[in-house]
Structure 1
């Protein structure tokens, strides 16, 4: 079975379930819908994978113009279900492709676009990925890049111009406000964010694509959070590439379900 998308140039970059592990206490919750935000077009597809698991079908589509007008957001990336059942989607920019962090929300039952998630507060300059831990009332988000520049591919000329993000953001989950920001270094490009699976754990990791550094973030006293470097992947000396040194470009980070192992995808190094 194949499920073709009805539009071109969407860029289905990330996907997520309509229900997550934080809904474990609701026995009626089922992972029967797949949420597919589009990084380039800003369109959102909802795919029914429950009615016929071997023949998924498209059951809803939210057009980019609705996202642009209602949220003043665009370039959608990572979707995750919230503890209340709604769907949270991180955005990379505004409708014009300028850098703009934050999130939009879909109703968890109807999948209607509800609007922006964050309350009236400072929004990060860029956005990309996020993870949250309800028992600690926290959401951590990464920085990403300015898509109208970096969307054409990696260009060394974009370095030191603010195109690539550098911040790790800490949010109050219930108040939906930004509480802390960590500067991980110019052009570090923090992307993938993961908490440990243990719902009581107050720590996680973020990988930085261009600096090759993995940071551990953790809760300390007075409900504040801190970061520390735990892994550094050196750039490789190369010839015939666009730069003499090739960064690892760690685009994804996965933690094993028993929280014992951490796996990295070093895209440019091929490991």
Structure 2
């Protein structure tokens, strides 16, 4: 009789996950923006320093359609499968769930038996996704204990109606339906995550499809029409419990990173830009007296710049905003990494005290004005730290440089090319670019990175460290 065993990449706690073997491969969303002439792809990058093909693309799955606009994607299953209230320990971390943000198509991609040759096993066409979920423009994927959760930026009718979350079945990958039962006045959507042990889901806000698909709309930004609220939901009842408006000037409250330890009920949220002074910020959410609260704990100022060196959208301001587009939290809840896509910096903060972060490291590469290079790239680089991913042991950080095709062209009008780099981390604080790791994707732009076996923005844990 066959005996079911949990996937060895599942861990009850974040501390146990930090003892996992080092990652060998990265899966990277690759976007081909040249007029819809070539499909997007999932690329496989060799991460093994002892391999002859280290820092090279060793596999590529070209998708069957053009114009999907790959953006974020995730694993079908992760450590949340071990949670006691909805255990699915017989699941396997095997499939990548890959949405097309522009097409509303979803690919299910198998990474086995050969991790360097991923292949499509199922395609959810837009008609099925939109018809069964009530949503369009799927964005963020999280492997929950009871299903696969996917956020969506638009409604079935595009801009008419709210964005939200829908679910896929763990086994058939069919669309189960919309997640929310009682949404209150929540309208804009973007990221989401949870405190599973507290039965709390948190969601954030970006924009409606008309406000991002063809680029940033300056008039809407200056009128503070992008998202600036965070929402706290009853996860089991699927009901909005509380919303916090952090101030309309804090535009685009995007990435959410809750503490990995389930005994902690705080987390971090990144804000792209303030319309008051072009600064970016990171906020800490926490619970006090039964209510959720938000506190700004990191502020990153804009950098003055010569008008002639700026893209058209920034010339009137004579400054480069940091444009914090991603944040990521190490599994020990100690270091928060903040990507500044405008100025070309990756910041490392010690957040052992989540209300008093301390800057402990910084690397510089790319940037709207600086365009700083890399030891393995003998040229100025366009783009900057964007999507960030941390190894489970916290010793390595990988990031890519593209945000979204139309936004890339607005802020880096000289036609960005795609690249990926690695940062080596000092366990006591501090970091430096790995001089031997630079992946040049040429005209193909790259966004989300997923690490084979799991990473710091994939798994949720239901047992304390």
Q: What range is the shorter-chain TM-score in?
A: over 0.9
Could you tell me how far 1:163 is from its partner in structure 2? 3.9
User: Are 1:88 and 2:149 an aligned pair?
Assistant: yes
SS at structure 2 position matched to 1:159: helix
Deviations 1:6-64 (A, max 9, x none): 11111111011111221235542321011111111111111011333221110111111
Deviations 1:111-135 (A, max 9, x none): 0011101114325221110111111
CA contact (8 A) 1:141 1:170 kept: yes
Deviations 1:135-187 (A, max 9, x none): 11101111011221322112322224454111111111111111111112225
CA contact (8 A) 1:83 1:134 kept: no
Deviates more, 1:131-140 or 1:89-98: 89-98
Q: Corresponding residue for 1:20?
A: 78
CA contact (8 A) 1:106 1:115 kept: yes
Q: How far apart are the structure 2 equivalents of 1:226 and 1:119?
A: 24
Please list, as runs of the form range in 1=range in 2, the aligned pairs for 1:2-13 lying within 5 A after superposition. Answer: 2-13=60-71
SS at structure 2 position matched to 1:135: helix
Could you tell me how far 1:221 is from its partner in structure 2? 2.2
Q: How far apart are the structure 1 equivalents of 2:126 and 2:137?
A: 9
Q: How far apart are the structure 2 equivalents of 1:49 and 1:122?
A: 39
CA contact (8 A) 1:79 1:87 kept: yes
Could you tell me how far 1:189 is from its partner in structure 2? 0.6
Q: Corresponding residue for 1:228?
A: 295
Please list, as runs of the form range in 1=range in 2, the aligned pairs for 1:142-221 lying within 5 A after superposition. Answer: 142-161=204-223, 163-187=225-249, 188-211=251-274, 212-221=280-289
Q: How far apart are the structure 1 equivalents of 2:236 and 2:156?
A: 27
CA contact (8 A) 1:102 1:118 kept: yes
Q: How far apart are the structure 2 equivalents of 1:190 and 1:64?
A: 27
How many residue pairs are counted as aligned between the two chains? 269
Q: Corresponding residue for 2:120?
A: 58
Please list, as runs of the form range in 1=range in 2, the aligned pairs for 1:227-266 lying within 5 A after superposition. Answer: 227-238=294-305, 239=307, 240-241=310-311, 242-243=313-314, 244=317, 245-266=319-340
Q: Could you say if the C-alpha distance between residues 234 and 202 of structure 1 is closer, same or farther in structure 2, counting changes exceeding 3 Å?
A: same
Please list, as runs of the form range in 1=range in 2, the aligned pairs for 1:71-150 lying within 5 A after superposition. Answer: 71-84=133-146, 86-98=147-159, 100-122=162-184, 124-150=186-212
Deviations 1:181-238 (A, max 9, x none): 111222521110011111221010000112311110012222x211111001112223
TM normalised by structure 1 equals: 0.93
TM normalised by structure 2 equals: 0.56
Q: Corresponding residue for 2:356?
A: none
Could you tell me how far 1:260 is from its partner in structure 2? 0.6
CA contact (8 A) 2:246 2:294 kept: no
Q: Larger relative contact order (C-alpha < 8 A, sep ≥ 6)?
A: 2
CA contact (8 A) 2:188 2:207 kept: yes
CA RMSD after TM alignment: 1.7
CA contact (8 A) 1:203 1:218 kept: yes
Which is greater in Rg? 2
Q: What runs of 5+ residues in structure 2 fail to find an aligned partner?
A: 1-58, 275-279, 346-465
SS at structure 2 position matched to 1:65: helix
SS at structure 2 position matched to 1:6: coil
Q: How far apart are the structure 2 equivalents of 1:51 and 1:210?
A: 43
CA contact (8 A) 2:133 2:175 kept: no
Q: What runs of 5+ residues in structure 1 fail to find an aligned partner?
A: none
